[in-house]
Structure 1
Amino acid sequence: MNTADFPCAATTPAGALAGIKVLDLSRVLAGPWCTQMLADLGADVVKVERPGVGDDTRHWGPPFLQDVDGNDTDQASYFTACNRNKRSITIDMAHPEGQALLRRMAQQADVLVENFKVGGLQQYGLDVDSLQALNPRLIYCSITGFGQDGPYAERAGYDLMVQALCGLMSITGHADAQPGGGPLRVGVAVIDIFTGLYASNAILAALQARHTTGLGQHIDMALLDVGMATLANQAAGFLATGQAPGRGGNIHPSLAPYQDFRSSDGNVLLAIGNDGQFARFCAAIGQPQWAQDARFASNTARVRHRAALLELLVPVMQTRTTAEWVALLEDKAVPCGPINTIAQAFDDPQVQARGLRINLPRYAGDGIAQVAGVANPMRLSATPVRYRSAPPALGQHTDEVLQEWGLDAAQRAQLRATGAIGA
């Protein structure tokens, strides 16, 4: 599917969350990732930003967006990763009239998402108790580093800190004894992203519960909780045995062979997950007896005799190019593939066929013609994701949104004159 087919198709059915109003007080990544999911599904997400400054990630560059002449602007590309399909308004929540305006908007909202420190919004009258007293149907989602209670509740939390604290870095990277060994962070802020996904799931559950109860609820999301949860099989293994796993590079602790190898011209991955795949692999390379060897006949045996298996495999894998390995194995249902750069990934024919790059036109009048992004992977047949708008310029929709939410031109002018809303 061509990327040009995606954006703003007028004939596309309304999204699954059409009619849901979301007040987005979050910034950086976890909260905005959550609200982008809701926006992609059709919710009207109003992103509230600080006048003149905006979300921190607007300034996290380089890299920066380029204008129509190919010159860098002052707008970082980071912001665009998690803010499409939203409308940006600028309100000063430190201003009493800005606080009153946000309380008024919260009375009309279905969902509010915030990622301030615990108790940080209480001074503004924007905490969960204050707003749910005004709107009992409000679903209020708080995202923090460590949750609303516990000894670390007052601490600020960042993805890197949580990757370290939850143990993720202890299982990421090469072992200490190997070249380049030592703990590593994952190359993307995965705890933030997973927190956004868990938060959006929790909000959907709360919306469904509201159909029955008529009431909203408070959602307490913590990066640390998510970090522990996403340890998945590694946490399960520790809980079962009491033995903490270590770093093994690209080797899978429970599968073999399931790792990268040197090919004759680079690197190639084998991801063999069962005994049938291993037998087909052995036949393809002219070594069918390996699948009958007691050391390698089952996955458990291969894991236990990994060193002996690798002693045989490493020289064999260097006899073909990466492309030759892929060509040899792909019709034999043996998972095998290259290790792409991001540029190579976007050039991959399957990535292109799935339309995973999207180009969204920008109408902010700031010299940026369009913003490229990555498609949402959720494919709903009846209520598909729609790409209505590019990530907004700071305050681009202030007048539009406030008019829709009940403020006339005179009221907006008065708020602007006092500094409660941005110019």
Structure 2
Amino acid sequence: MTYEMIVVLLILVFMVVMLLSHAIPYGVTGMICCVALVLTGVSDIPTAFSGFSNSTTIMVANMLVVASALGKTSLIHRLRQAMNRLQGKSGIVLVLAMLLITIGLSQLMGQMACLSMMLLFVQTLDDESDISPARMLFIVACVNTIWTAKIPIGMGATMPGTINSFYQGMVEAKDLLGITDYLKAGFFPAVAGTIYCLFMYKVIPNSKIDSSQVREVKEADAISKKHETIIFLVFTGVIMGFMFGNQLGSNISNILPAVGVLILIITGVLSVKETVTTLTGDMIWMIAGMSVISSVLGKTGVGELIGQTVLNLLGENPSGIYVTIVFCVVTTVMTNFLSNLGTMALMCPIAAATALAGGMNVKAIVLVTAVSSWFAIAMPTGCSAAMMAFGIGNFNAFKLMKFTLPLVLILMAALILGVNLFFPIFV
């Protein structure tokens, strides 16, 4: 083992501990790793910080700005109006409508904002009915978690690029995710989980919510029709660019979000201050740092070493189903006790390295870990949505397992089926 490999392994261990513990922000972890690569002589400065000029980083950063602009449109207002009109509905129609609205909100805003908005509605329900506030809040949290950023609109348009940043330095361009790959892999579990929540919510122990733990989400001031039209046109143009990325070339399709951001600034839709705030968020620093780490893992041979080690643990000539089951189970268990984003950032490079070492379909194994990183609803430690649902609903995680355990098993089975259907492990 070379000096470079030892250093990279030590840096990797530090990164793993920080990602799983979230003791410091993810972006800070990424930058510490980049600085360490320079101080130890493994990389020079331009290489160690090349993540900031990486096409994926630039695309995701600007796409987050475009997505934030979409959240300023009347879409949110219309969804809230739809929730208000649901008053008076009853039974499965009301539950289905709430879940569909949750799916829509889950593509446009973060988990905390989505659940806080839905809480405003569910807390008006009757505590003594089957469709009680606590039960509805929990199934909303479940659906929000499994549908977050799945559809390539809003935040969903950034998810494939974010996942790519975790392992792109280890693979060829053909092994990176396309704009719809994350949706294809996650569609079966998302639909199966939604159906389960729709019909099995009565299994959830009834409780009374503590709405004092969440502050009200206020609607933003309405923007002009002109600005709203500009946002929709920019967003449509960017998404069309992604869809025709093969014809346009990656350079053009990846820079289109930046073009969109400039148009939004020039037309006065977004201010420079709010644009810069989004462009310099923790997510961007993390992506920039992780893209460099994935490159170093590939160049130094550490990625191959990790992949071969995992392959040895899997045994000789493992089947595709067995590989997906192992990665799905390990990731699902991890993400319910640790950060889902941290679990994804950790497991995607391991998945890619294992796939390369075993001659497997890299996309398939990466997608198993990426999608199952969001099966984080069985424990309150899994994600922010789970934390809110357990805390506000005053639920006991052990007693709730009669609902959450079957749900997680259904999600895992549907994911394994979907991945092997759309992305065969051995090609």
**Whose helix proportion is higher, 1 or 2?**
2
Q: What TM-score comes out, normalization by structure 2 length?
A: 0.23
Larger relative contact order, structure 1 or 2 (CA cutoff 8 Å, min sep 6): 2
Q: Which has the higher strand share?
A: 1
> Which has the greater radius of gyration?
1
TM-score by length of 1: 0.23
